[in-house]
Amino acid sequence: MTIHEFLAPPAVSCQRSGPNDQIVMSSRVRLARNLRKLPFPSWAKKPDRLRVLETILPAVESLPQLDPHFASAMDDLTPLDRQILVERHLISREHAAKSAGSGLVVNQEESICVMINEEDHLRMQALRPGLQIKACWQAIDALDSALETKLDYAFSPELGYLTACPTNLGTGIRVSAMLHLPGLVLAEEITRIINAANKLNFAVRGLYGEGTEALGNVFQVSNQMTLGESETQIIERISKALNQIIEEEENARTTLLEKKPKSVFNHIGRAYGILANAHTISSKETMNLLSLLRLGIDLGMFKGLERSVTEEIFLLTQPAHLQQQHTEKLGAEERDILRADMVRDRLRSVQRPQAPK
Amino acid sequence: MLCNVCKLNEAKVHLTKIVGDKMQKVDLCEDCSKEKGVDDPTTYSSEDTFLGQILAGEPAAPEPSSTEPTVKCPTCGYSQADFKKAGRFGCSDCYATFGEGLEGMLKTMHKGVRHTGKSPAAFQQTRAEAQKLKLLQKRLDKAIAEENFEEAAQLRDEIKRTK
Ligand SMILES: [Zn+2]
Ligand SMILES: [Zn+2]
């Protein structure tokens, strides 16, 4: 079975919903773990990497909470498959570039994904739609406790779980949420919010993690410190910050509608105009305009258009997902044309936006 | 978190700038932020060039002198120089091999230098057992000091069983 056949199509996966999902697109908790006495992936030679994969993969696959799941060595996946996994936020761009000795296990719900031999021997993550940090932690904590009986973890009572990079040392936890913040961007308040989050030692990044652009007004907020605080303390601290950002985004939207309604409607109307009528469009422009369409839906400007549809188009118009729908190899120009065709078609029956009363 | 400029003081001023749609971030202590004239967050005048300077890259660390003996991790063969280059360790034993000076670095990255979170159940058990033994030993010492030999004998048996 290929990964395409295994994963739910975007039309289905984008229907998944959760609390606060108007602003919080998804929550994630990741744990980093390593095996004792074996070199970390980037320092290990191929035989050691293969040994780690052969040890971890069966242990992970034997866990009942992962059923039904898809498992594969990274070198058995085509470059297109790997890019699809990146676009679905299941693996990192770094992991997509890995070859022999790296692997992945993902369950059908896409709520748990395990990367083997990424930066650490084992990186397991729980994902949920909307704001569900605690549920993510409970799921991944249980998975980790089940695995620790099968694997010989590198752990020190003083330093905690030992990781390749000392920035992940201790709990090895990375808690993050993907936020859609068009209000704060339009109100030019986003820099203030990012600085405030940084001051609390949270990192704010773009759509695909480290070093990526803040496309489509999507921001990833995550903890940076992993040692000296327990998992629960970290989760409580970041949950508080996330709730504040949600409130700020709501306030920004309200203020914008009060003070500059025409400017807001203008942005949304023009976004609809371009998306519904363009004949060639880049992935970047599509993401930025879909963000405004999504804002319009939140404000009640589109009748009969669901937020999940914008998410589906968002995913389907990403380069690898677009390529996957066509048998012939597409160049960038052809992709831009096919992307515009698809978006036009999807928006054909959508009524023009109306200013909310 | 330490200041990006002097690398000595705790960073108090955190600047993030969005250029186009790229994000750049700098953390500064109070002294350095004043010196660079970016302590007042309402005036971002000099910030552009300043951020650029810092983010353009720090001066390369001096090469370790060849006379310095190279310590290598007995488990994986990693050296301190490898760590300086990659910012990552070679294996979990490297934390013991290069333990010296580790605490200073961890202080710049984390809230504390001691793990206070989850432990594998096996470790919790060993830790609980160790604590119990310590307590029994204490009571035994006291019983002996008080010449309470009957209790001492009982405690000795219990310690034997726990071990
Ligand atoms: Zn300084
Ligand atoms: Zn080592």
Q: CB distance from B123 to chain A under 8 Å? A: yes
Chosen domain end from A206, A221, A252: A252
Local structure of residue A297 (DSSP, 8 states):
H
Q: What is the mean pLDDT of each run of 10 residues along chain A (357 residues)?
A: 87 89 96 97 94 96 94 93 93 90 95 96 97 98 97 96 97 97 94 93 79 80 96 97 98 96 96 97 94 96 91 92 90 94 95 87
- Whether residue B41 has pLDDT greater than 50: no
Residue B43 pLDDT: 37
Burial classification of residue A79, based on how many CB atoms lie within 10 Å of its CB (0-12 exposed, 13-18 middle, 19 or more buried): exposed
Helix (H, G, I), strand (E, B) or coil at B50: helix
- Structural domain count of chain A: 2
Say yes or no for a CB contact (<8 Å) between B92 and A194: no
The residue ranges of every structural domain in chain B are 1-64, 65-114, 121-162
Q: Are residues A233 and A309 in the same domain?
A: no
Report how far residue B71's alpha carbon sits from residue B58's, in angstroms, rounded to the nearest whole number: 26
Helix B149-162 / helix B121-145 crossing angle, nearest 10 deg: 160
Smallest CA–CA separation between A345 and chain B, in Å? Answer: 29
Q: Does a cis peptide bond (omega within 30 degrees of 0) precede residue A68?
A: yes
Q: CB distance from B101 to chain A under 8 Å? A: no
Q: Kindly indicate the confidence band of residue B38, based on its pLDDT and cuts at 50, 70 and 90.
A: low
Residue keyed to tokens 């594969």? A72
Ligand nearest to the CA of B30: 1
Q: CB distance from B99 to chain A under 8 Å? A: no
CATH of the domain at A87: 3.30.590.10
Report how far residue A113's alpha carbon sits from residue A298's, in angstroms, rounded to the nearest whole number: 30
Least confident span in A60-69, A117-126, B19-28, B96-105: B19-28
Residues of A in contact with B118 (CB under 8 A): 141, 144, 171, 230-231
Per the CB < 8 A criterion, the answer to whether A233 and A226 are in contact is no
- Whether residue B92 has pLDDT greater than 60: yes
Ligand nearest to the CA of B28: 1
B1, B88, B112 member nearest A165 (Cβ): B88
Report how far residue A207's alpha carbon sits from residue A300's, in angstroms, rounded to the nearest whole number: 25
Q: Are residues A48 and A108 in the same domain?
A: yes
B93, B118, B122 member nearest A171 (Cβ): B118
Q: Are residues A248 and A265 in the same domain?
A: no
Does residue A240 lie in a domain region?
yes
Residues of A in contact with B116 (CB under 8 A): 228-230
Q: Are residues A25 and A120 in the same domain?
A: yes
Does residue A132 lie in a domain region?
yes
Residue A150 pLDDT: 96
With vertex at residue A313, the alpha carbon angle to CA A308 and CA A317, rounded to the nearest 5 degrees, is: 155
Local structure of residue B110 (DSSP, 8 states):
S
B85, B111, B124: best to mutate for the A interface, most A CBs within 10 A: B111
Chosen domain end from A232, A252, A272: A252
Does residue A198 lie in a domain region?
yes
* A117 CA from centroid of ligand 2 (Å): 16
- Whether residue B18 has pLDDT greater than 60: no
Query: Taking the model in full, what pTM does it have?
Result: 0.81
Q: Are residues A128 and A56 in the same domain?
A: yes
What single string gives the DSSP state of each residue in B136-162?
HHHHHHHHHHTT-HHHHHHHHHHHHHH
Say yes or no for a CB contact (<8 Å) between B92 and A37: yes
Report how far residue A44's alpha carbon sits from residue B73's, in angstroms, rounded to the nearest whole number: 14
Residue B84 pLDDT: 87
Residue B37 pLDDT: 62
Residue B42 pLDDT: 39
Residues of B in contact with A214 (CB under 8 A): 18, 21, 23
Complex ipTM value: 0.85
More confident residue, B85 or B18: B85
Q: Which residues crowd ion ligand 1, with CB under 5 Å?
A: B 3, 5-6, 9, 29, 32
Helix (H, G, I), strand (E, B) or coil at B116: coil
Domain that holds residue A297: 261-346
Helix (H) or strand (E) holding B55: helix B47-55
Chosen domain end from A252, A269, A291: A252
Does residue A315 lie in a domain region?
yes
Q: Give the mean model confidence (pLDDT) for residues B114-140.
A: 86
Q: Are residues A265 and A247 in the same domain?
A: no
Task: For residue A194, give the chain B residue with the closest CA.
Answer: B16
Q: Are residues A246 and A129 in the same domain?
A: yes
A16-20 contacts: CB < 8 A, separation 24 or more?
A16/A129, A17/A129, A17/A130, A17/A308, A18/A128, A18/A129, A18/A130, A18/A131, A18/A132, A19/A130, A19/A131, A19/A132, A20/A130, A20/A131, A20/A246
Smallest CA–CA separation between A304 and chain B, in Å? Answer: 32
Residues of A in contact with B119 (CB under 8 A): 155, 157, 160
Q: CB distance from A99 to chain B under 8 Å? A: no
Q: Give the mean model confidence (pLDDT) for residues B78-91.
A: 91
Residue A151 pLDDT: 96
Q: Which residues crowd ion ligand 2, with CB under 5 Å?
A: B 73, 75-76, 78, 90-91, 93-94
